[in-house]
Structure 1
Amino acid sequence: MRLTQDQLDQFQTEGWLLLPELFTAEEVDLLRREAEAIYREHRPEVWREKTGAPRTAFAAHTYNEAFRLLGAHPRMIGPVEQVFGEKVYMHQYKINAKSAFTGEVWQWHQDYGTWKRDDGMPEPRAMNISVFLDEVMPINGPLMLVPRSQTAGDLKASHDVETTSYPLWTLDEATVTRLVAQGGIVAPTGKPGSMLMFHGNLVHGSAGNITPYPRKIVYLTLNAVSNHIRTPTRPDFIAHRDFTPIEPVADDALIRLARAHRQAAE
C-alpha cells in the first residue's frame, strides 16, 4: 500500500493522517477478541488504571499471533517506509484500553520527548500508528491532536508520575495554549479498522471516558532502522532492543488467522 501525494502533503503539513476503515470488520473482530483476552491476563506487560481497569498492554506482538501479524501488516508498514524512505523496526507496541466509565486521561504530551529522554532516540524519525478496535466517537475519549505542532520541535516537558498510572513527560498549560491558538485542536474519529498516523512531535492527549462505550486502540511506534535507540532505560517490553527491519506479512494474513480460529471453534 502506498499513500497518494495529497495524503503525503497532508501528513507533512498537518502532522497527521486518518485512513478510514483500512482494516475489515473480520480483521478487527479478531483483534478485539484477542485484546480482551490479553486484558484478562496477569502479566507485567498489562498495566492497569488505579481502579483496576486495564489501561494498556505492551508488546502484544511478542506473545499473541494476531497482534504479531498486525505489527507486520503491509497496510501499516508500507506508508511508514514511504514517509521515511527506509526500513523500520518496532520500537513500541501497546493496546490502549480506555474502558467504559473508568478510562483515565492521557495528559498533553509529545511522544518523541519520551523516546529521546527515556530511550535515547536520536531524532523524531519514528511514526505513531493507531488502529481503532472500537468506534472512536467525539464522546468516548478520542485522541486530540494539535495540528502543525510537530513543527515546534522538541518542547520542554515535566515528568508526571502522579496524575495517572502511566508516567509521562507532559507539557505545561501555557505551551499547549500557545500551540492551540496557532493550530487548533482536532479529534479524529472513525469506525473500527480506521488507521491514524501522526508525527512523533505532534502534541496530543485525550480526556477520560465516562460513557458506556469503550475505546480500544492499538498504538505502534515504527522507528527508522538508522534511528534506533541508543540508551534505553525502560524495560525491553516497553522500548524494544530488536532493531531488525520488519518484513511485511501477506495482506490476507489476519483474515486467514480469523478463519482458522473460527474453524477451530466449530
Structure 2
Amino acid sequence: MRLSKEQLEQFDREGYLFFPSLFKPEEVKTLTGAVPELYSRREAYNVREKGSDAVRTNFAAHLVSEPFARLARHPRMVEPVMDLFGEEVYMHQFKINGKMAFEGDVWQWHQDYGTWLNDDMMPTERAMNVAIFLDDVNEFNGPLMFIPGSHKKGVVEAKHDLTTTSYPLWTVDNELIAKLVDRAGGKNGGIVSPKGPAGSMILFHSCLVHASTSNLSPWNRVSVYLSLCAISNHIRRFKRPEYIAHRDFAAISCLPDDCLVKSYPVDVPWGKGMPASALQTSAVPIEDIKKAA
C-alpha cells in the first residue's frame, strides 16, 4: 500500500493518518485468536497493570506467534512508512497494548521518540508507530488522543515517570500540553481521537504528542503497534532488554497482501521460550562496545 501525494501532505501537516476498516474481519480474527495464549504466558515480555493481572503491554509477539510474525511483514503496515522515509525499515519495537475492560490504565501524555532517544539513543525521529485496532474503538474505552501538528515542535521537554503506571515513560507536563493544545486549536480541534471498527489503522509521527485515558467501559480496547525505524537510524545503545527494543536492524521484507488469511512460512525464534540474552542490557553505547572489542 503506497501513500498518495495528498496523504503525504496531510501527514506532514497533522502528524498522523487514519485508515478506517483497512483490515477485513477475517484478517483481524486471525490476530485476535492468538492474543489470549500470548497474554497467558508468564514471561517478562508481558507487562501487567499495576495491582492487576490484566496485561498492559505484550512485547515481541512477532518473535513468538506466527500470525503476528506475518503482521510484522504486512505491506499495508510497512510500505506507507517506507514511503514517508524513502528508505527501508526495521522493527524497533512490537507491542500489543491490552487496554482491558474496567482495568486498562492511562497512558500519560508523551512522545514515542522521547523514550527512544533517552533510553535507546536513537539518533533522529526517523521512526514511527503504525497501529491496528483489534477491537472496536469508541469514546468510552480509552481511545488514543493526539495533538495535531505537535510533531512540528520536535523533541519537547519530558520527565521520566516511574510511578504513575506499571510501565516507565518519558512524559510531558500539563503546562506544556495546555500550550500545545491551544496552539493546535484549543476546543476546536486541539485534541483529536480517531475511533472506528476493529481493523482500522493509524500511522503517526514519533514526535506526535499523544495519550489515552483509562478504560472504565465493559469493552476491551486491544491494539497492535509496529514501531518501525529507518535502517540508517538504528538505536545506538542496548539499555533496555531486547524484547522491548530490538537489536536486529535488518530491513523488513514484506509478505504478500493476503498473508493474514494464508499461512506463509515465517520464523518465530522465541516460540518455545525467550532466550536469556533477551534480558541482557548495557548502558554503554554500541560504538564504545565495538571499540573495546
**Which bin holds the TM-score, normalised by the shorter protein?**
over 0.9
**TM-score (structure 1 length as normaliser):** 0.96
Distance 2:103 2:258 in 1: 35
By how many angstroms is 1:231 displaced? 1.4
Give the one of 222, 225, 232 matched to 2:231: 225
Of 249-258 and 231-240, more deviation after overlay is shown by 249-258
Return the alpha-carbon distance in structure 2 between the equivalents of residues 77 and 181 of structure 1.
33
SS of match in other structure, 1:42: coil
Report Cα offsets for 1:179-217 as digits up to 9, x if no partner: 000110000001111110000000000000000000000
Matches within 5 A, 1:36-51: 36-50=36-50, 51=52
Q: Secondary structure at the match of 2:12?
A: helix
Partner of 2:7: 7
Any gaps of 5 or more consecutive residues in structure 1?
A: 259-266
- 3-state SS of paired residue (1:254): coil
Residue of structure 2 in register with 1:182 after alignment:
183
Match of 1:18 in 2: 18
| Structure 2 Cα separation of the partners of residues 101 and 257 of structure 1 | 35
Determine the structure 1 residue equivalent to 2:156. Answer: 155
For 1:167 and 1:187, the matched residues in 2 are separated by: 23
Corresponding residue for residue 66 of structure 2: 65
Identity percentage of aligned residues: 53
Shift of 1:126: 0.1
* 1:227-266 equivalence runs, <5 A: 227-257=233-263
- Residue 28 (structure 1) shift: 0.2
1:141 aligns with 2:147: no
The letter for the 1-side match of 2:253 is E
Greater fraction helix: 1
Number of equivalent positions: 258
Distance 2:152 2:36 in 1: 37
Residue 44 of structure 1 aligns to which amino acid in structure 2? A
Distance in 1, Cα, partners of 2:36 & 2:230: 30
Q: Distance between the aligned counterparts of 2:203 and 2:180, measured in 1? A: 20
The answer to whether residue 132 in structure 2 is matched with residue 131 in structure 1 is yes
Tell me how far 1:20 sits from its aligned partner. 1.1
Pair 1:113 & 2:114 matched: yes
Measured in 2, the distance between the counterparts of 1:257 and 1:187 equals 34
SS of the aligned residue for 1:218 comes to: strand
Cα distance in 2, alignment partners of residues 62 and 204 from structure 1? 27
Q: Deviations over 1:215-236 (max 9, x none)?
A: 0000110000000001120000
Shift of 1:115: 0.2
Structure 2: segments with no counterpart, 5+ residues: 185-189, 265-293
Match of 1:209 in 2: 215
Runs of 4 or more consecutive aligned structure 1 residues displaced over 6 Å after TM superposition: none
Which is worse superposed, 29-38 or 81-90?
A: 29-38
Measure the CA separation in 1 of the matches of 2:125 and 2:92: 12
The alignment's TM-score, normalised by the length of structure 2, stands at 0.87
DSSP 3-state at the match of 2:131: strand
Give a deviation string over 1:30-88, Cα, whole Å, max 9, x none: 10111122111111111100212110100000010000000110111111100000000
